[in-house]
């Protein structure tokens, strides 16, 4: 029996699950696909040695503990391995299997500690930035209802337009619940095909479909003990709705391709921008699933119904975005706040935050009305900013080919973009939501580099 598989056997007997890889390439692929908690690698391998694997693995996942082992037992090999980032070093032959088990357990414990610290930092950062902001009566009522239902295990259905902050409310429900120490996982039900979504939700077993070379647990199992947020649940097909209903009723999931059920302990929070009652009446959404999801109902008001919250929201976004940019938040002209409160905000909080981010990129010490108006005048309509209607072309005027019109518009846009940021390519890329390499390509095409 190969040494790797023999080690895998006694690690398995010690309760440590293992996967075996016969080459550097296979090992790197498993690190990417299986996300292990640590790696045990032999320095002496055919073709490419363990030092090369160690270097590539550390580039792929810098936080991954790698324990190296070799029959050389030399001080030089140990020092080299440690300098290249190895977590520990083992010399063969081993005194006993317990030596290897102990080294692996130390590496796994180290990995778990790093993960806990990272999760805590992310959670603290998320809680400081993702708060429900607003003091209007509708928001006061919403927060009171969240506090009332959060400690229960009731399924909650969140209704709201796109960009109103449905996931933010779901996260607040989780944070105030008895499951707050468990995971909070979210999935957009409208972003995946039916087959992929069922695999993501319920998992699959090896061989369930083409490409399923290993078994994989779904998001329901991964969220066990915590909360699962199903965003845009109104986009589910009737077939997936049936499977979801069974999970909610029985508390069990069946992975794709499996013949057995597995129990799950998950609180489900669902959200949609659709009118599900109308979807039910038109036969596009199961009535029994609707009532199972709608045990408790929360409606998030659109921004146009709480315009008085815009000063608080603006201050919140300025502070949040300034921290990300590593700068002091600028002040905002009261006239600019009045201007913001007069807009329609069809994109709700998401559109407001985007507008403030653009203004922040251009602002020095103060955000002014002129800054927002400048952005509004040269941002393309697809940005979500309400732009003044341009003069309609005279029907009698000759129309140029679409290719030339698009080229001319693109050049004018780039010229205005560069002028607004005083020629800063980095600021221009952020403001236009473009990758810097794509921006450079566009500038080169129009001879603006």
Tens-digit pLDDT profile for residues 220-263: 999 999 999 999 999 999 999 999 999 999 999 998 888 888 89
Alpha helices per DSSP H over 303-435: 310-325, 334-341, 348-362, 369-378, 402-420, 425-431
In the prediction, which pLDDT does 401 show? 57
Asked which of 57-61, 153-157, 303-307 is least confident by mean pLDDT, the reply is 57-61
**296 and 149: one domain?**
yes
Exposed, middle or buried, 47 (CB in 10 Å: 0-12/13-18/19+)?
Answer: exposed
Residue 390 has pLDDT above 60, yes or no: no
CATH label of the domain that carries residue 275: 3.40.50.300
Confidence category of residue 271, pLDDT binned at 50, 70, 90: very high
Residue 404 has pLDDT above 70, yes or no: no
- Per the structure, the complete domain to which residue 343 belongs is given by 304-390
- Comparing CA positions, the residue from 351, 242, 325 lying closest to residue 288 is 242
Residue 74: C-alpha distances to residues 69, 87, 258 (Å): 11, 17, 49
- How many distinct structural domains can be found in the chain? 4
Residue 172 to residue 146: CA distance in whole angstroms: 8
**313 and 368: one domain?**
yes
The mean of the pLDDT values for the chain is 84
250 with 203: CB under 8 angstroms?
no
Residue 384 has pLDDT above 50, yes or no: no
Residue 58 has pLDDT above 80, yes or no: yes
The CA-to-CA distance between both ends of the chain, in Å, stands at: 62
Residue 77 to residue 222: CA distance in whole angstroms: 40
156 with 269: CB under 8 angstroms?
yes
**295 and 312: one domain?**
no
Asked which of 6-20, 169-183, 409-423 is least confident by mean pLDDT, the reply is 409-423
Residue 132 within any structural domain of the chain: no
Mean pLDDT of 98-125: 77
Q: What angle do CA 215, 220, 223 make, to 5 degrees?
A: 110
Residue 124 within any structural domain of the chain: no
Mean pLDDT of 94-114: 85
Residue 204 to residue 112: CA distance in whole angstroms: 26
300 with 169: CB under 8 angstroms?
yes
Residue 123 within any structural domain of the chain: no
In the prediction, which pLDDT does 402 show? 59
**146 and 290: one domain?**
yes
In the prediction, which pLDDT does 121 show? 56
Residue 156 to residue 227: CA distance in whole angstroms: 11
**350 and 373: one domain?**
yes
**374 and 444: one domain?**
no
159 with 234: CB under 8 angstroms?
no
Give me the phi and psi of 442, to 5 degrees please. Answer: -65, -40
173 with 200: CB under 8 angstroms?
no
Mean pLDDT of 351-372: 88
Residue 131 within any structural domain of the chain: no
Residue 67 has pLDDT above 50, yes or no: yes
Confidence category of residue 377, pLDDT binned at 50, 70, 90: low
The top-scoring range by mean pLDDT among 79-93, 347-361, 370-384 is 347-361
Residue 409 within any structural domain of the chain: yes
Q: Which two tokens stand for residue 93?
A: 């032959």
Residue 225 within any structural domain of the chain: yes
pLDDT exceeding 90 applies to what percent of the chain? 40
Residue 301 has pLDDT above 90, yes or no: yes
Residue 118 to residue 115: CA distance in whole angstroms: 5
**155 and 259: one domain?**
yes
Q: Which of 251, 285, 301 is the last residue of a domain?
A: 301
**69 and 211: one domain?**
no
- In a 13 Å sphere around the CA of 299, the CA atoms on its Cβ side amount to 7
Mean pLDDT of 123-142: 76
pTM for the full model?
0.60
**Which are the contacts of 311, defined by CB distance < 8 A and separation ≥ 6?**
337, 341
In the prediction, which pLDDT does 429 show? 80
In the numeric block, the tokens 């921006």 are attached to: 439
């Amino acid at each position: 029996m190969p040494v790797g598989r023999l080690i895998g056997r006694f690690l398995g007997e010690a309760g440590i699950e293992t996967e075996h890889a016969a080459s550097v390439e296979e090992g790197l692929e498993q690190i990417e696909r299986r996300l292990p908690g640590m790696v045990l690698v032999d320095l002496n391998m055919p073709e490419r040695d363990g030092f090369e694997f160690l270097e590539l693995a550390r580039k792929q996942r810098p936080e991954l503990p790698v324990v190296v082992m070799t029959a050389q037992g030399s001080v030089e090999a140990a020092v080299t391995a440690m300098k290249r980032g190895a977590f520990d070093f083992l010399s063969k032959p081993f005194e006993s299997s317990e030596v290897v088990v102990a080294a692996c357990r130390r590496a796994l414990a180290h990995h778990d500690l790093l993960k806990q610290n990272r999760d805590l930092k992310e959670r603290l950062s998320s809680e400081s930035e993702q708060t429900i902001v607003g003091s209007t009566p509708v928001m006061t009522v919403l927060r009171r209802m969240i506090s009332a239902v959060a400690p229960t295990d009731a399924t909650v259905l969140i209704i709201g337009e796109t960009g109103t902050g449905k996931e933010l409310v779901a996260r607040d429900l989780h944070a105030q619940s008895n499951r707050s120490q468990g995971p909070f996982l979210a999935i957009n039900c409208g972003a995946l095909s039916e087959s992929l979504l069922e695999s993501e939700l319920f998992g699959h077993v090896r061989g369930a479909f083409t490409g399923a070379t290993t078994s994989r647990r779904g998001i329901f199992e991964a969220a066990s003990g915590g909360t699962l947020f199903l965003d845009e649940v109104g986009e589910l097909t009737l077939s997936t709705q049936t499977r979801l209903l069974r999970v909610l009723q029985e508390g069990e999931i069946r992975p794709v391709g499996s013949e057995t059920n597995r129990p799950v302990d998950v609180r489900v929070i669902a959200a949609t921008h659709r009118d599900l009652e109308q979807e039910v009446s038109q036969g596009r959404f199961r009535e029994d699933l609707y009532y199972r999801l709608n045990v408790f109902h929360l409606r998030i008001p659109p921004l146009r119904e709480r315009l008085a919250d815009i000063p608080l929201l603006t201050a919140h976004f300025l502070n949040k975005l300034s921290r990300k940019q590593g700068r002091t938040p600028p002040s905002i002209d009261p006239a600019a706040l009045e201007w913001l409160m007069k807009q329609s905000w069809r994109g709700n909080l998401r559109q407001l935050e985007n507008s403030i981010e653009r203004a922040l990129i251009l602002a020095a010490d103060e955000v002014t009305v002129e800054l927002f108006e400048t952005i509004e005048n040269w941002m393309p309509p697809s940005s979500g900013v309400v732009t003044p209607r341009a003069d309609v072309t005279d029907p009698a005027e000759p129309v140029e080919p679409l290719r030339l019109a698009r080229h001319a518009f693109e050049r004018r846009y780039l010229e205005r973009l560069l002028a607004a940021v005083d020629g800063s390519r980095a600021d221009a890329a952020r403001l236009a939501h473009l990758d810097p390499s794509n921006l450079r390509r566009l500038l080169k095409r129009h001879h603006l580099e």
